[in-house]
């Protein structure tokens, strides 16, 4: 299964989005879906500290860095790599990494009390500040932008993906028909 192409972005019945977990909470390794088939994850490097949240991406999206849009799952539940989780956007943390926009959509799958959510979010931001090490060139805006901004970004990245897919299909048809 191609996790980027074959999984729907949105579940219209529940008004949730699907997220693919790449990196489970508690690991100190960065896993990514392997291109071009996106059918498995592979460890690409170690990070400083253990992930304090599940990290992954939204299917059928294309973000400013050329990858699927990143998602940070704030949850008390346990997940493993390649789990598909129905989530609701809470907000977005904006980052620039290697001079490319690389925003992180903050999502949850369950109701979390405000105090616990605030604590988990602070821990997540602290981790993001350190996980790439001292030589990181990532610029992190620690403001949590609102839910509406997150949904707009998801929808924009979905449009980017659909536009790219339609161009790729047109190119393939042109090449075949010559």
Q: What is the pLDDT of residues 24-49, one digit of tens each?
A: 999 999 999 999 999 999 999 888 88
* Confidence at residue 177, expressed as pLDDT on a 0 to 100 scale: 44
User: Any idea what DSSP says for residue 126?
Assistant: H
* Confidence at residue 176, expressed as pLDDT on a 0 to 100 scale: 44
* Confidence at residue 134, expressed as pLDDT on a 0 to 100 scale: 66
Long-range contacts made by residues 139-146, C-beta under 8 angstroms, separation at least 24?
Answer: 139/95, 139/96, 139/97, 140/93, 140/95, 141/93, 141/94, 141/95, 142/93, 143/93, 143/94, 144/90, 144/91, 144/92, 144/93, 144/106, 145/91, 145/92, 145/93, 145/94, 146/91
Confidence check: pLDDT of 133 > 50 = yes
* Confidence at residue 106, expressed as pLDDT on a 0 to 100 scale: 93
- Segment 99-118 mean pLDDT: 82
> The whole model's pTM is what?
0.86
Strands 70-73, 54-57: pairing kind: antiparallel
């Amino acid at each position: 299964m191609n996790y980027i192409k074959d999984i729907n972005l949105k579940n219209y019945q529940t008004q949730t989005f699907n997220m693919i977990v790449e990196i489970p909470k508690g690991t100190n390794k960065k896993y990514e879906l392997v291109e071009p088939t996106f059918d498995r994850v592979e460890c690409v490097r170690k990070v400083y500290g253990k992930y304090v949240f599940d990290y992954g991406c939204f299917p059928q999206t294309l973000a400013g860095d050329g990858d699927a849009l990143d998602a940070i799952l704030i949850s008390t539940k346990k997940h493993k790599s390649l789990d598909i989780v129905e989530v609701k956007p809470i907000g977005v943390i904006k980052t620039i990494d290697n001079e490319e926009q690389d925003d992180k959509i903050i999502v949850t799958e369950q109701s979390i009390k405000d105090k616990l959510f605030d604590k988990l979010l602070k821990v997540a931001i602290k981790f993001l500040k350190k996980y790439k090490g001292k030589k990181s060139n990532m610029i992190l805006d620690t403001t949590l932008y609102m839910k509406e901004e997150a949904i707009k970004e998801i929808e924009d990245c979905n449009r980017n993906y659909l536009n790219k897919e339609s161009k790729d299909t047109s190119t393939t048809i042109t090449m075949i028909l010559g």
